[in-house]
Amino acid sequence: MNRNTKRIFLTSLVLAPLLVIVAVLVKDWHFALGTAAGGIIGSVNLWLMYRFVAVLVAQPEAHSGRIVGLRFIIKYVVLAAALFGAVYLLKLHPLALAVGISNVPLAIVMEVFRPPVADADSEV
């Protein structure tokens, strides 16, 4: 994982509990639980997307288009199942999940305003 991507991922992991604390202060524990679940789903999605792209870029000739497409679809089916389970089985508030999932876009926006960090193996 390059340094900028790692910073985005770590920032999203820091933002998730902060969003949960804000949810407790503004709403209640049930809303905060939904925010926590959304934060976990968002961070896992970011990590899976990174792994998916890293493997594809590292060995493009080893992966056929069908396999890549199938893995991508499976990832989204699993994430959709997690969201479905959170809303319908655990009865978590959908807005709380959206607030929690927003940790990743917030981390990306924060990274835009930081000075770039060069990787050790890249030439600057």
Domain segments of the chain as ranges:
3-112
Q: What is the pLDDT of residue 124?
A: 43
Q: Return the residue matching tokens 């930081």.
A: 114
Q: What is the pLDDT of residue 69?
A: 79
Alpha carbon distance 114, 22 (integer Å): 24
Q: Are 118 and 124 in contact (CB under 8 A)?
A: yes
Distance of CA 88 to the CA centre of its chain: 21
What is the DSSP annotation of 57-92? HH-GGGS-HHHHHHHHHHHHHHHHHHHHIIIIIS--
Tokens for 55?
């493997």
User: CB neighbours of 63 closer than 8 A, spacing ≥ 6?
Assistant: 55, 56
* The amino acid at 105: P
Mean pLDDT of 45-73: 81
Q: Which residue has the higher pLDDT, 18 or 56?
A: 18
Mean pLDDT of 51-70: 77
Q: What is the pLDDT of residue 122?
A: 53
Mean pLDDT of 44-57: 86
pTM: 0.83
Average pLDDT, the chain: 88
